């Protein structure tokens, strides 16, 4: 079963509550993008916004950390209520820490641990972590901004990862993030994606609930 995770980055920051209620009613998760202007060339929001979201949201909070040194902040995000926390392999590389140690830390904090990569990182770099992760996050745009065009190559990358996990008999959910809409949902699901993150295709739609429904391809 596909899960839909609307990205609140595309929500209405002047009045988030209606967007959160729409997510409670129609979606499976809320995707929360945290950007630090260092790992990615944009800054989004941090703890105060996340804590406000936590007061209203009823579906699990899926926090996508696009920050350097994720290991410094994971405990705080878990305490703020994140049930799923992903960080970038590139950030672990930059910090000189094995991603496995950060995955362990996420687990110790009681959250599900996800490992993310941008479109220019070879998918086989994820293979050593198949046993340890709870999910993988394949970026289908370069992390940093909502509203970018979906990179078609991502479908093959998802399929490659899915097939490797099948070979090992260790299937972990694959989340896909960036330029996802009803137009590519079926192809992504066929390739093996289970969690579809969608920002602009949900929040820029005239009827966000209907946009979510259209993405439920199975």
Which positions touch ligand DX5 (CB under 6 A)?
A: 7, 9-10, 31, 33, 64, 141, 143-148, 177-180, 197-201
For the residues of 3-38, what is the DSSP string, one character each? EEEEBGGGS-TT--HHHHHHHHHH-S-EEEEEEBSS
Contacted by 86, from ligand DX5, Zn ion, none: CB < 5 to 8 Å by type: none
H/E stretch holding 69: none
Region from 63-71, 124-132, 179-187, 203-211 binding Zn ion, contact rule CB under 5 A: 63-71
User: Which residues ranging from 146 to 205 are in contact with Zn ion (CB under 5 A)?
Assistant: 177
Which residue's CB is nearer to ligand DX5, number 165 or number 197?
Answer: 197
Which residue's CB is nearer to ligand DX5, number 114 or number 144?
Answer: 144
Choice among 33, 36, 62, 118 that is catalytic? 33
d(CA 75, CA 209): 33
Q: Is 62 a catalytic residue?
A: no
Q: Is 33 a catalytic residue?
A: yes
Range list of β-strands (E), 25-173: 30-35, 61-66, 82-88, 112-117, 135-139
Contact 87, 115 (CB under 8 A): yes
Active site residues: 33, 177
């Amino acid at each position: 079963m596909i899960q839909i995770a609307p990205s609140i980055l595309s929500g209405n920051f002047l009045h988030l509550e209606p967007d959160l209620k729409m997510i409670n009613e129609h979606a499976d998760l809320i995707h929360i993008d945290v950007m630090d202007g260092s790992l990615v060339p944009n800054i989004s929001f941090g703890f105060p916004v996340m804590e406000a979201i936590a007061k209203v949201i009823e579906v699990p909070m899926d926090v996508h950390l696009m920050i350097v040194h994720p290991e410094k902040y994971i405990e705080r995000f878990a305490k703020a209520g994140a049930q799923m926390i992903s960080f970038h392999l590139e950030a672990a590389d930059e910090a000189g820490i094995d991603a496995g140690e950060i995955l362990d830390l996420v687990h110790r904090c009681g959250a599900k641990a996800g490992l993310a990569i941008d479109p220019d990182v070879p998918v086989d770099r994820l293979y050593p972590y198949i046993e340890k992760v709870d999910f993988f996050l394949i970026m289908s745009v370069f992390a940093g901004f909502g509203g970018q065009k979906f990179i078609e190559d991502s479908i093959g990358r998802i399929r490659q990862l899915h097939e490797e996990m099948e070979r090992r008999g260790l299937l972990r959910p694959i989340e896909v993030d960036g330029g996802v809409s009803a137009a590519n949902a079926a192809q992504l699901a066929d390739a093996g994606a289970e969690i579809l993150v969608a920002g602009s295709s949900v929040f820029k739609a005239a009827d966000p609930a209907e946009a979510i429904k259209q993405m439920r391809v199975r």
